[in-house]
Amino acid sequence: MNVNQFVKLHRDEWKELEIIVTNLHKRKNITGTQLRQFHRLYQKIAQHLSYSQTFFPNEEVTPYLNGLVSKSHNLLYKDQISSWKQARYFFGTKFVGLLAEQWKFVLLAMLLFTLGGVGSFAAVASDQLLLYSILPPEMANSFDPMRLGEIDGQVDAPLMSASIMTNNIQVAFLAFAGGITFGLLTIYVLIYNGIIVGAIAALFWHYGKTYEFWAYIVPHGMIELTAIFIAGGAGLLMGYKLVVPGDYSRAYQLKVQAKRSVQLLLGTIPLFIIAGVIEGFITPAAISLETKYFVAILTVLGLILYIGIGKFRSQANSLQ
């Protein structure tokens, strides 16, 4: 291919990128589709520049492409350093859009957790001693239903909150990373964590403390479990695409789905932070059980509102 053929073949794409760059500089209204086209053209024309530098180093087309790619890069970099805007867009719109696309896997994660929980609850409800077969001995011995609430208001809330957030994020990351094992580890993590909750709930049921038990779980649990289900759904999505790659190679599916799954995982971090704060400061606080349930209701309403607004924004962007 000579330089004239090269220019003729690609000049329409160069002109299109020029127009988008000009509009971005002038801060004209740019649609989501045009932004995606900008990213695509930037990557493609960067390859054209590399080719031109190799085969046409002394032709005018090379400095032209170098300038075009430099302008595009500067715009892209400028967009990236606007971290607050990027974060607001991601958590307020993009994350919810991804969640809406992959809701079936999030639902499956919830069902796997529920399966483990219901199974272990039924087992321990029928025989309390099975608790020691299901849970590790040190965990089983750490629960005393008759002492529930004794240390309310006496815990180091900041330390407890930080410790809880760290532990929950580790569980979520394990559920997400389990996708690389074709989803098998993710399935195990979800079912096992459901088993733990179900077995402990059954223990408190034996002592007639069900109402009190859930009062200490649901204030933070509604957000915490939602985040774990999202992270688990991300892992299941990645595992599914590795098992059923469709028309693409498993390596390609891993690359594409891992990126999407990482975005879903990142979107859960604020949820874990909120859950950790509630679990550290409100759950052990010396307040009535009814107040704890009221906090749980507020968290559910907050989640519904957040997802609803985010979905509306996502749909509005897709129509632009």
Block mean pLDDT (10 aa), the chain, length 320:
87 88 71 76 87 86 86 66 70 86 92 96 94 85 76 50 65 88 93 92 92 90 92 91 80 78 88 86 85 94 92 67
Q: What is the four-CA torsion angle of 287, 288, 293, 299, rounded to 10 degrees?
A: -20
> Taking Cα atoms as reference points, which of 103, 128, 38 lies closest to residue 76?
38
Are the beta carbons of 174 and 233 closer than 8 angstroms? no
Query: What's residue 149's pLDDT?
Result: 66
pLDDT at 136: 83
Asked whether the beta carbons of 99 and 306 are under 8 A apart, the reply is: no
pLDDT of residue 155: 45
Instruction: Give pLDDT, residue 63.
Output: 86
Does pTM top 0.85 for this prediction? no
What's the first-to-final CA gap in the chain, in angstroms?
39
- CA-to-CA distance for 157 and 283, rounded, in angstroms? 10
Question: Distance (Å, rounded) from C-alpha 166 to C-alpha 296?
Answer: 21
> What's the rounded Cα separation, in Å, for the pair 127 and 260?
43
For residue 76, the model assigns a pLDDT of: 65
pLDDT of residue 93: 84
| CA dist., res. 131 & res. 124, Å (int) | 6
